[in-house]
Amino acid sequence: MRITRLARIVTVALKHGLDEFALGHERTRALRPFVNAFFFWRDLSSPRAVRLRQALEDLGPIFVKFGQMLSTRRDLLPTDIADELAKLQDRVPPFPSDQVVATLTRIYKKPLDQVFKSFDPVPVASASVAQVHFAQLPDAIGAKSGAQVAVKVLRPNIVQVIEHDLTLMHTAAMLVERLWKEGKRLKARAVVVEFEKTIRDELDLTREAANCSQLRRNFKHSPLLLVPEVHWDWTDTDVFVMERMAGIPIGRTEELPRAGIDLKRLGRAGVEIFFTQVFRDGFFHADMHPGNIFVAVDPTNHGKYISLDFGIMGTLSERDKSYLAQNFLAFFRRDYHRVATAHIESGWVPPDTRVDELESEIRVVCEPIFDRPLKEISLAKVLVQLFRASRRFNVEIQPQLVLLQKTLLNVEGLGRQLDPDLDLWVTAKPFLERWMEDQIGLRALERRLIAEAPYIVSALPELPRLLHQRLLAAPVASDMAIKEFVAAQRARNRWLAVVALLLAIVIALLSRHLLP
């Protein structure tokens, strides 16, 4: 099968003239006339980026998904290729319903009519990895009795297909780095490794269910966002059963006003949801294209966003969040010097980078975008310019920020659809300022003390014993050494007093939070 698949890939690549990428290297350039003469029948009139996109579409859904991921790496790809790959659409025909039934019967180990009260064999959505069917849970299941659900089923044999394609992608990446003149800067093998991690995560639907459950918990009482409930008793590696959500796809902007939805308010809410996920939780939905976002129109949840498809989620550490917030706020305030120093402090640029040069480069990119509505700003173009500046200063684009960049572009796209006059910067600035105050104020100190309380409580009683052991182990010393030791002991005593005070604060906080 692997040889057949390899032959198929080579055939498609030659058909679309992708040998151009390999034959651009000085060691292989001499072969180009012979290849062109042998494959004289090819139509190579389209630009290389268009031919690459068409080849990925011909190779099937996994290569399409890989191209979609590549399109977000504007720090690595030439602009023409990144723009063209962004047009890739994951349109996949559904697999037969008898295979769906066979998969579910294997998982549940009993006939389907004994698992669900009803099950619609016609899928409502189909993608490269899985497809979705509507169903109803059986009656006698307590609070979940008769619940309407969506059942996401993994494609049969998709794991084997992906394994074969990943092996071939690794081989192709190695050749790209060796034979294409831009291959080393592209870091093709690292990109394939990144894609492999993402696609493997999507193959385990329990992981997606856990992502959904986490996001739902984060926004449990939110007035802005709904996340479906996970039905864990019916969920497995190959099947994910969740609450069925009803609403209007956010891309149908002509229907939303007829349902009484305020598009301007919806646009602002989308920005707030994004920044809340990123800076409050460090856990964000990283696949926010219009097909995954609905708007609720029922009386109880009218106007709320509905989030679907949780296979791709992004995470950020506290350090990442802090530096990102500092960068965003510095951008909003046009403090380009602070942007430059934050990049150096975070380790995103080499430590020997000249701050004044980086500051100047950032000013050239960002100054033109301010005081203009979103409809006049292309965030994608701003990012492209920033990535070009990054190359000059050898910026190592952080893997955890790649999904964030992609998601920010999606937020921009949704904003354009809902309210062309929405100003992303003005909408986000108050939220970020509140977040920063929360991070450096007394509430932040309280949270950190509570988080560290178990360690402080366990370590503090050991200090007298450790000091006593140190005294016993100390050799007989001179008068000067004794004076130095006494001074050090006084310093330790002052430190212990501070620790004791902190411990008292921690105990008081714990009492307030934990005691009824």
Nearest CA-CA partner of 139 in 114, 121, 159 = 114
335's CB contacts (< 8 A; 6+ apart) are none
Q: Please tell me the predicted confidence (pLDDT) of residue 261.
A: 94
Q: Please tell me the predicted confidence (pLDDT) of residue 453.
A: 67
Burial of 113 (0-12, 13-18, 19+ CB in 10 A): exposed
Return the exposure string of 333-356: e unless at least 16 CB atoms fall within 10 Å of the residue's CB, then b.
eebbebbbbbbbebebbeeebeee
Q: Among 201-210, 215-224, 366-375, 497-506, which stretch is predicted with the lowest mean pLDDT?
A: 497-506
Of 229 and 419, which is predicted with more confidence? Answer: 229
Burial of 421 (0-12, 13-18, 19+ CB in 10 A): exposed
Q: Please tell me the predicted confidence (pLDDT) of residue 470.
A: 65
Does the pLDDT value for residue 502 go beyond 60?
no
Q: What is the mean pLDDT of residues 339-345?
A: 81
Burial of 303 (0-12, 13-18, 19+ CB in 10 A): middle
The DSSP secondary-structure symbol of 230 reads B
Beta 125-126 vs 239-243: how paired, if at all? unpaired
pLDDT tens for residues 355-414? 888 888 888 877 776 666 655 666 555 655 666 666 667 666 565 666 777 777 777 777
The DSSP secondary-structure symbol of 236 reads B
Q: What is the mean pLDDT of residues 214-230?
A: 95
Is 287 catalytic? The answer is yes
Distances, alpha carbon 454 to alpha carbons 443, 451, 506, in Å? 19, 7, 10
Of 238, 287, 309, 419, catalytic: 287
Banded pLDDT at 514 (limits 50, 70, 90): very low
Q: Among 145-154, 206-215, 267-276, 415-424, which stretch is predicted with the lowest mean pLDDT?
A: 415-424
Mean predicted lDDT score pLDDT of the chain: 77
Neighbours of 434 (CB within 10 A): 11
Q: Among 166-180, 302-316, 339-353, 392-406, which stretch is predicted with the lowest mean pLDDT?
A: 392-406
Strand partners, 432: none
Banded pLDDT at 239 (limits 50, 70, 90): very high
